[in-house]
Amino acid sequence: MNRAFVFPGQGSQAVGMGQTLATAFAEARAVFEEVDDALGQKLTKLMFEGPADDLKLTENAQPALMAVSMAVIHVLEKQGNFRLPGKVKFVAGHSLGEYSALCAAESISLADTARLLRKRGSAMQQAVPVGVGTMAALIGVDLPVAQEIAAAAAQGEVCTAANDNAPGQVVISGHTGAVDRAIAIAAERGFKRSVKLPVSAPFHCSLMQPAADVMQKALAEVTIAAPTVPLVANVTASMVNEPAKIRELLVQQVTGAVRWRESVLYMKAEGVEQLVECGAGSVLAGLTKRIDKEITAISLQNPEDIETFLKAG
């Protein structure tokens, strides 16, 4: 079976994530310890015990989610001798999950990935004062209509489609007033369900340019190798292998849209039959069912999931 491994983004975090892995597997504990050491912080304690408000802070949530994803990968490798090259056709991740995907494909080291995500989260948080920007999911709206609504709502401010997650689920991002206007326009057009997201900044829009500048400098100082499994990039929804291009796309990703629906369809067109979500939550597995019901999707986030997956071969 042709598989792709995919990695979740912000919003999938929850207090207690990764704890059953740490209890069951020394390999998972080693990942968490390495991330703690790289950051000089007991992030693992925050992941296991909370408080939730501290865990959901962007600069904590991003490396924490990556750590759980990498714990899953290391357990698969050590317990099941399951190595990605040869068994996985692509890796991909939603927003911060793209860093997890690159770490899983041995393109960026675990310690460097943790430090990059800490810097990315902090830079994204600081790029826009709290309250100035926001994000909202337009439910029942497809991408072209969402783009029209965002353009009509902008009125000189920033309002843009930020995440094309699945048919009928597009997230917009920008100035708070513009996003509020977009929600009103969507309602006028008969799209009654629009949900403001519980985020502290307007990710994946041009307001994030200061964070993109920070990441350009940070990424220039980090070694990026060719991934052992090709990456399907957020901003192009297509395959990339070259380290220089990966570096460039990671910078563009801060302000660019996450083209997740197109990424999944690209992988299907390339022969992928199953998406395996590695890490906290099952958001991406759920989106897969909405994007294309012919693709199977499973989530690996606890010891039982991993055992079942390895037994199935």
CB atoms within 10 A of CB 304: 11
Please, which pLDDT band fits residue 192 given cuts at 50, 70 and 90? Answer: confident
Task: Report the sign of the C-alpha dihedral through residues 150, 238, 266, 308, in that order.
Answer: negative
Q: What is the pTM of this model?
A: 0.97
Show the tokens assigned to 264.
Answer: 């999944």
Which amino acid, 173? S
- Residue 80 predicted with pLDDT over 90: yes
79-95 mean pLDDT: 96
Burial of 198 (0-12, 13-18, 19+ CB in 10 A): exposed
31-57 mean pLDDT: 96
Report pLDDT digits (tens) over 122-131: 999 999 998 9
**19-49 burial code (b ≥16 CB/10 A, e <16):** bebbebbebbbebbebbbebbebebbebbbe
**C-alpha 227: how far from its chain's center?**
18
CA dihedral 211, 215, 217, 219 (to 10 degrees): 180
Residue 35 forms beta bridges with which residues?
none
* pLDDT of the residue at 41: 96
Q: How far apart are CA 296 and CA 267, in angstroms?
A: 12
Q: 32-46, 79-93, 194-208, 296-310: which has the minimum mean pLDDT?
A: 194-208
| CA angle, 210 then 213 then 215, to 5° | 115
Show the tokens assigned to 169.
Answer: 């689920």
> How large is the C-alpha radius of gyration of the chain?
19
- Residue 198 predicted with pLDDT over 90: no
What is the rounded average pLDDT for all residues in the chain?
Answer: 97
* pLDDT of the residue at 313: 78
> Half-sphere exposure (CA, 13 Å, Cβ side) for 224?
22
Report pLDDT digits (tens) over 241-274: 999 999 999 999 999 999 999 999 999 999 999 9
Report pLDDT digits (tens) over 200-215: 789 999 999 999 999 9
Please, which pLDDT band fits residue 199 given cuts at 50, 70 and 90? Answer: confident
136-159 mean pLDDT: 98
* pLDDT of the residue at 200: 78
Q: How far apart are CA 198 and CA 121, in angstroms?
A: 15
Question: What is the set of active-site residues?
Answer: 95, 204
Q: What percent of the chain has pLDDT over 90?
A: 96
Please, which pLDDT band fits residue 286 given cuts at 50, 70 and 90? Answer: very high
* pLDDT of the residue at 130: 86
CB atoms within 10 A of CB 192: 9
